[in-house]
Copies of this chain bind each other. A is one copy, B any other.
Amino acid sequence: MDISPSNACPIAPVVDIVFSRWTTPILWALNQYGRQRFVELERRIATITPKVLTQRLRQLERDGLVLRTYYPEVPPRVEYEISELGRSLGPLFAALAEWSPNLDTVEQARRSYDVRERSGGRST
């Protein structure tokens, strides 16, 4: 939360909601593989802990991006799915994916920066 102060730029609030920690893989998994249970998400994301997964799912549910359905069976069952509002993020995610080829450029920039810095390239 409050990842980037809104006074600085108008898109900061959107970033706070959509790109706060763990939300991207969660929304992606729900969008990609559809409605699924808690454990499925847990296994798919792998490095997330149940506590944090719960926190993030609650947050996403509160923001209306994710729908939670509870089945009072034994053993209990809960299913999560992306909401319509969540699906409206599609174009945004597509824009992300379209930019990803530039990751190579970033990698290259990092390497040459590191070389420059190692040899004391900075003037100040």
The chain A residues found within 8 Å of chain B, CB to CB, are: 3-5, 7-15, 17-19, 21-25, 28-29, 32, 44-48, 61-65, 70, 72, 76, 78, 85, 88-89, 91-100, 102-103, 105-106, 108-110, 113-114, 122-124
Please state the number of chain copies in the assembly. 2
CA distance A122 to B85 in the complex (A): 21
Chain B residues closer than 8 Å to A28, beta-carbon distance: 8-12
For A47, give the chain B residue with the smallest CB separation.
Answer: B5
10 closest Cβ pairs, A-B complex: A64-B109, A8-B25, A9-B28, A95-B95, A11-B96, A19-B19, A62-B113, A92-B95, A4-B24, A8-B45
Is A11 touching B89 in the complex (CB atoms < 8 A)? no
Is B106 touching A63 in the complex (CB atoms < 8 A)? yes
**Majority SS of interface residues in chain A?**
helix
Chain B residues closer than 8 Å to A92, beta-carbon distance: 92, 95-96, 99
CA distance A113 to B59 in the complex (A): 10
Is A14 touching B103 in the complex (CB atoms < 8 A)? yes
Is A100 touching B13 in the complex (CB atoms < 8 A)? yes
Q: Which of these, B15, B24, B91, contacts A11 with CB under 8 Å?
A: B24
